[in-house]
Structure 1
Amino acid sequence: MDRIQEIVDFWFLPESDENYGKQREVWFKKNPDFDAEVRGKFLEDFEKAEAGELLHWSESARGSLALILLFDQFTRNMFRDSPRAFAADGKAREIARHMLSCGFYDELNTVEKQFAALPFEHSEDMDDQKLSVKLFEELGSGEALDYAQRHLEIIERFGRFPHRNEQLGRESTKEEEAFLKTPNSSF
């Protein structure tokens, strides 16, 4: 099995698995064991991708999806609670834009499309946020759309994600500090 398929199968499970195509609990939950597993299995792939050695993967839908997973999802597991968790977000957005412009996005199933759209939801840029909401509206998942809209509202209000301030060494405003004390203020 090639590395692209190993990355995609690790995240979404193999097509032969009964849970393939379904949401997985490990995706959005803090789990040190899962973080360590991601780091152990995929840190070398991420470092190669970050260095530009895997750019040829972007020549296919599956390869582009694997790059997005490395840059946008695996970083959040491998480098949790550090600035490096967000350092490759721009690369993920570049690949996601590429997928949209060349039609690769349309080759994905619904769950895969959610992850191809997440780099826009993770962005602190308003245009990216609007694109995220549009993509999630098209996917028709109420829960995923709710998250996209909540991300957009935070960017509209603050121009950034206050829950990242500490990790990124940014000083929070009084309004952000008050916001961070409310339920569902971070993701």
Structure 2
Amino acid sequence: MIKPSEILYFWFQENSQEQWFGKTSEFDEEIRRRYLEITYKARRGDLEHWSQSPDSTLALIILIDQFSRNLFRNSPMSWSADPYCLEITKQALTMHYDDFLNNYQRAFMYLPLMHSESLEDQDRCVELVKKTLDNGIDFNKDNYNAAVRHRYIIARFGRFPHRNEVLGRNSTPEEIEFLKEPNSSF
């Protein structure tokens, strides 16, 4: 059985920002080969016991939030477990698990808030990510800018227009124009 520490080692030691936020079939395939089965278990709630500590909760969030995006890219399944992951994240924040994580790890604990189509969640994400800016690491600045950008889109449209086609949602004329702009999707 794969342990939470293996997920964290793979994500934070074996890989970097280039893989985390890049969109390559090679990285997606590596995740599929190594972690497809356990990602399904996490999405079904079979690993809920992992939410008992900061590190294992972070591993659970990475499985559900990040690996789902790699495994099910351009499919509704990319986002179908987001509500469950958001619930785990909010519970972790209530327990102050993020206080026990470094800023790179915190970024991934906060991502389910950034991926939410709720303005309240977006506001909370921006607030939390802003607190990581004091150490001067460029990654934190980039993450803060991403949080602000996500929040702007939700404040403007109430949803992420780049998901519309995959989710079978009709786009408004304003959303169609927005999607023509650079950096309109993630």
Q: Report the TM-score when normalising by structure 1.
A: 0.92
Following the alignment from structure 2 to structure 1, what is the Cα–Cα distance between the partners of residues 17 and 122? 24
SS in 1 for 2:131: helix
Equivalent position amino acid for 2:60 in 1: L
- CA offsets 1:136-179 (integer angstroms, 9 cap, x no match): 10011221111100101100110000001111111111110000
Equivalent position amino acid for 1:9 in 2: Y
Following the alignment from structure 2 to structure 1, what is the Cα–Cα distance between the partners of residues 67 and 2? 18
Q: Kindly state the Cα deviation for residue 90 of structure 1 after the two structures are TM-superposed.
A: 1.1
Which residue pairs with 1:13 in the alignment? Answer: 13
**1:103 partnered with 2:96:** yes
Q: What percent of counterpart residues are identical?
A: 48
Which residue pairs with 2:143 in the alignment? Answer: 144
Which residue pairs with 2:77 in the alignment? Answer: 84
Following the alignment from structure 1 to structure 2, what is the Cα–Cα distance between the partners of residues 127 and 152? 9
Equivalent position amino acid for 1:37 in 2: E
Equivalent of 2:24, from 28, 31, 34?
Answer: 31
Equivalent position amino acid for 2:49 in 1: H
Number of residues of Structure 1 aligned to a counterpart in Structure 2: 180
User: Which runs of 4 or more aligned residues in structure 1 lie more than 3 Å from their structure 2 counterparts after TM superposition?
Assistant: none
Equivalent position amino acid for 1:68 in 2: I
Q: Report the TM-score when normalising by structure 2.
A: 0.93
Following the alignment from structure 1 to structure 2, what is the Cα–Cα distance between the partners of residues 167 and 36? 21
SS in 2 for 1:13: helix
- CA offsets 1:110-161 (integer angstroms, 9 cap, x no match): 1000000010000000100000100110011221111100101100110000
Q: Which runs of 5+ in 1 are unaligned?
A: none
**1:54 partnered with 2:54:** no
Q: Kindly state the Cα deviation for residue 2 of structure 1 after the two structures are TM-superposed.
A: 5.2
